Amino acid sequence: MDSLPNDLLTKSAIDSIPLQPGIYFFYNIDREIIYIGKAKILRNRVKQYFKKNQHSIRTANMVKQIEYIQVICSSTEHTALLLENQAIKKHQPRYNVLLKDDKNYPFIYLSKHKFPRLGIARNATSKYLHTFGPFTKKQKLHAMLDELQGLFQLRTCRDSYFRHRTRPCMLHDINRCSAPCVDKISPSAYKEDTQAMTRFLRGDYQKLITEYTQKMQQAVHSQDYEKAANYRDIIQSMQNIIQQQQQTQHKHSIDIFSASDEGEGIATIHLQIRNGQIEDSRYRFFAQVASKLEDSIIGLLVQIYTGQEHPNIPDNIACAQLSAAQIADNLAVFLPKKTRYYGKKSPQAYQKWYDVANTNLQAQLQSHYAHKQRYIDLFNEISTIFNVALSTLECMDISHHSGSATYGSCIVCSQESGIDNRSSRVYSLNAQNNDYDSLYQLTKRRFGQTGTERTPPNVLLIDGGKGQLQAVQKALDTINLHTVKLIAITKNAQRTAGEERYFILNAQQQPQEISFSITNKRTLEHIRDQAHNFAIRLHRRGQKKQSLSSTLLQIPGLGKKRYQNLIQYLGGKEQLDNSTIAHIAKVPGISHNLATQIHQHLHNLERSDNNKA
């Protein structure tokens, strides 16, 4: 998948989203997924979010935060439903609270107990001994649970009910529970039944059936015909369940690839199909690739399946632009012999997956070109304003907390690829609570370093007003850099989002307000916000580090030397939070009593943070 930038929130750009079923992702400025939804028709569903005065306050607040959109097309609405649920489990977006809490597909579980309880849960958490699933249809789940009760006779009652039983319940009378509550079965025999059910649900059918067949034969040999009949019924029930599962189960996992030569680069899409559903989708664009389309795809496949990027090898690999022989010739030496390869001439089922892959590829290409066009338009307007050819633009921002943990960011943009995170940098500053000094320092460090071959940008965008503009110009004059043009972006007096003002320096080196087109304003705001996000990430990390040291150093007996030992031995706050008292006591200079105080102090902080949240 590829990010659709926030200019796709305009009407004309949203019209380019496919009229296909699928799922969509909404991202905020921090590149966090804030909402995942499914749609029968993606374009129509996404459009609804941007109709004014038609939402609750909660939905309206979410829409204000949307900076990117991603989409995955699917073949059916049912497929989109499963995709949505899987994605929500994986990413846990903040605005999918109802779906996460109330609509998770259920699991069968065994509880952690001397006599484990068999039940149904909505979340596969660590509080259970084992979980099995998920199950997409509630009716089939209850039917499965009913079969398991008859097969293995595990208890399904609550622990409180179990503890207070003085005689077997009705389920024991109808041979659906072995009544461990009143010792009708020994712990070891119950454990055997629990292990047998676990093996059955994990697919160890044949060995289990073989073992029960042997037990049945032994019972016949001992003339215990009632016990033999019981084993016979268990075997028949197992075989019936296995047959039902095989009728509905997809046998193979498939990786589908499709690609397109776009002149300026190669675009590829990679769908991972598991159990007949799209588990993941990955879009890639390789700019300025010298090799031909087929060679590029083969190179990509070899890198994926011989590296760490693809830990699970599928049973089948298919590509719409290659022949099966081409794929096999390059991958067979690396992959298991059971792996099968399909190319252009494939069975009808694979042709349908190729159609889904191509639909997703076209959707991502539309996003790619829309993303590129926004920067072409912006660079053209800035070039007109300054009457210079423009190839690069950089943006500066400062982040601090009351003068402490001050960081400055500088992100790089180009007309060809937009924001280039690899070339962007963050600098630690010591200018305290002074934006002018911070920007002055940042400018000199960014552009005044000797011995670098990096070319200065044509234009520098500054998050600030007239004062910040002049502070940066002063720093540029100090290092004799007079070719860089400056633009300052600042909010209005009411600090209303979307009502920013823009300033440049005129011929007399005085601030002069200018205006941009609506689309280019949004692009400049987006660049400014990304620079802010880039700086604030490191600022928050530095603030947490300072906060951790200041709070721990309040503990009597923990001085700077022992604090340094603690950090060097255990690591950061996350490692400290997860450490036991015994683990902390192993740090040189830390006694057991001091380790107890540190452990208690950290967990008091954690409870305080949770209460604030």
3-class secondary structure for 533-554? HHHHHHHHHHHHHHHHHHHHCC
- Same domain? For 124 and 234 the reply is yes
Question: Cα(507)–Cα(480) distance, rounded to whole angstroms?
Answer: 17
Q: Kindly state the tokens that stand for 29.
A: 């400025």
pLDDT computed for residue 555 by the predictor: 75
The stretch 332-351 carries a mean pLDDT of 86
Q: At residue 596, what are phi and psi to the nearest 5 degrees? A: -65, -45
Q: Are 112 and 242 in the same domain?
A: yes
Buried/exposed code over 407-445 (b: 16+ C-beta within 10 A; e: otherwise) = bbbbbbbbbeebbeeeebebbebebeebbbbbbbbbbbb
Mean pLDDT of 189-214: 83
Confidence of residue 55 (pLDDT cuts 50, 70, 90): low
pLDDT of residue 98: 38
pLDDT higher than threshold 80 for residue 573:
no
Would you say residue 596 lies in a domain? yes
Tokens 């080196």 sit on residue: 509
**Same domain, yes or no, for 95 and 133?**
no
**Residue 55 φ/ψ, nearest 5 degrees:** -130, 160
- Could you give the angle at which helices 138-152 and 187-201 cross, rounded to 10 degrees? 140
Torsion of CA 350, 352, 358, 360, to 10 degrees: -110
Residues 450 and 480 sit within 8 Å (Cβ to Cβ): no
In a domain, 336, yes or no: yes
Give φ, ψ of 466 to 5 degrees. -65, -40
pLDDT value, residue 262: 84
CA–chain centroid gap for 407, Å, is 27
What's the whole-number mean pLDDT along residues 345-367?
A: 88
Same-domain status, 122 and 230: yes
CATH number, position 91: 3.40.1440.10
Out of 286-290, 463-467, 533-537, pick the least confident: 286-290
Q: What's the confidence (pLDDT) of residue 613? A: 37
Report residue 78 as tokens.
């049912």
- Overall domain count for the chain: 5
Cα-based distances in Å from 119 to 111, 159, 172, 336: 8, 12, 17, 38
Last residue within a domain, chosen from 366, 382, 408:
366
Q: What is the DSSP letter of 181?
A: G
CATH number at residue 560: 1.10.150
Classify residue 547: in a domain, yes or no: no
> Are 73 and 22 in contact, with CB atoms under 8 Å apart?
yes
SS3 state of residue 104? coil
More confident residue, 17 or 7: 17
Higher-confidence residue of 247 and 236: namely: 236
What confidence score (pLDDT) does residue 389 get? 86
Range from 303-312, 332-341, 420-429 that averages highest in pLDDT: 332-341
Is 517 a member of any domain? yes
CATH code of residue 351: 3.30.420.10
State whether 206 and 177 are in the same domain: yes
Are 285 and 297 a contacting pair, CB within 8 Å? no
Q: Which residue bears the tokens 């009728």?
A: 247
Which helix (H) or strand (E) segment holds residue 410: the answer is strand 404-414
Poorest-confidence range of 96-105, 228-237, 306-315, 572-581? 96-105
Strand order in the sheet with 22-27: 33-39, 22-27, 68-73
Q: Is residue 530 part of a domain?
A: yes
Contact by Cβ (8 Å): 282, 310: no
Distance CA 55, CA 471 (A): 44
Q: Using the predicted structure, report yes or no on whether residue 257 has a pLDDT greater than 90.
A: yes
**Same domain, residue pair 496 and 566:** no
The reported pLDDT for the residue numbered 141 is 75
Tell me if 372 is assigned to some domain.
no
My answer on whether 243 and 270 are in the same domain is no
Q: Which is more confident, 357 or 499? A: 357
In a shared domain, residues 55 and 79: yes
- Decide if pLDDT at 256 tops 50: yes
pLDDT of residue 542: 55
| Angstrom distance (rounded) from CA 290 to CA 369 | 20
Task: Evaluate whether 177 touches 193 at the Cβ level (below 8 Å).
Answer: no
For residue 70, give every residue at least 6 positions away whose Cβ sits within 8 Å of its Cβ, in sequence order, or none: 1, 2, 3, 4, 24, 25, 27
Tokens of 219: 């019972």
Residue 235 has pLDDT above 70, yes or no: yes
Sheet architecture: strand order including 485-490: 418-428, 404-414, 392-401, 459-463, 485-490, 501-505, 511-514
**Angle of CA points 268, 272, 274, to nearest 5°:** 165
Is residue 521 located within the same domain as residue 437? yes
* pLDDT average, residue stretch 304-308: 64
Nearest by Cα to 73 from 343, 371, 354: 354
The pTM (predicted TM-score) of the whole model is 0.46
Q: How confident is the model at residue 62 (pLDDT cuts 50, 70, 90)?
A: confident
Do 472 and 564 lie in one domain? The reply is no
Residue range 401-449, pLDDT digits in tens? 655 667 888 888 888 778 887 788 888 787 667 778 888 888 888 887 6
Which of 102, 118, 134 is the last residue before a domain boundary? 102
Based on the fold, state whether residues 25 and 52 are members of the same structural domain: yes
pLDDT, residue 2, reads 41
Average pLDDT score over residue span 455-467:
87
pLDDT, position 282: 84
In a domain, 421, yes or no: yes
- pLDDT of 363 over the 50 cut: yes
227 and 266 belong to one structural domain = no
3-state SS class at 235:
helix
In a domain, residue 476? The reply is yes
Domain end marker among 248, 277, 309: 248
Burial class (CB in 10 A: 0-12, 13-18, 19+), 158: exposed
* Full residue range of the structural domain in which residue 150 is found: 107-248
**Is the pLDDT at 223 greater than 90, yes or no?**
no
Going by the DSSP 8-state scheme, the letter that residue 454 receives in this structure is: P
Work out the pLDDT band at 269, boundaries 50, 70, 90.
very high
Write down the pLDDT at residue 57.
Answer: 64
- Average pLDDT for the chain: 79
Reported confidence tier of residue 611, pLDDT bands at 50, 70, 90: very low
